[in-house]
Amino acid sequence: MDGEVVERVSRSVGIRTNNEAEYLALLTALRKAVSMKAEDVELISDSELLVKQIRGEYRVRSPRLKRLHGEAVKLSSRIPRLRITHVDRWENREADKLAKKAAGYAKDS
């Protein structure tokens, strides 16, 4: 599955901050990778805050994000080679489409 997108997911996460939604998306990806026993994973995000917090470059100050961050770090430790890369939003159009689709679900609820 070298360089292959494994799954595309779009779902409502209820009323959350953008940062919480980013972390929930990360957790979904990490859980999938762990369940597949993936050994080499590259995650791409347009959330600079999330990427830098996961890399340890920024502290996690928000109490609401600390729990999500802790879970992400724990899952990350189960993947031998994990890279997380920041890209500009315009370089991440597919993820943006999925996020807008999920926001539409939330409005319909």
Give residue-wise pLDDT tens across range 30-39: 999 999 999 9
pLDDT over threshold 80, residue 103:
no
Q: Judging by beta carbons within 10 Å of its beta carbon (0-12, 13-18, 19+), is residue 68 exposed, middle or buried?
A: buried
86 closest CA partner among 40, 22, 28: 22
Q: With bands split at pLDDT 50, 70 and 90, how would you rate the model's confidence at 104?
A: low
pTM over the 0.75 mark: yes
Distance of alpha carbon 83 from alpha carbon 6, whole angstroms = 16
The CATH number fitting domain 32-104, selected from 3.30.420.10, 3.10.20.30, 3.30.200.20, 3.60.21.10: 3.30.420.10
Question: Tell me: the pLDDT tens digits for 38-93?
Answer: 999 999 888 999 999 999 999 999 999 999 999 999 999 999 999 999 988 766 66
Distance of alpha carbon 6 from alpha carbon 54, whole angstroms = 22
CB neighbour list of residue 3: distance below 8 Å, 6 or more residues apart:
none
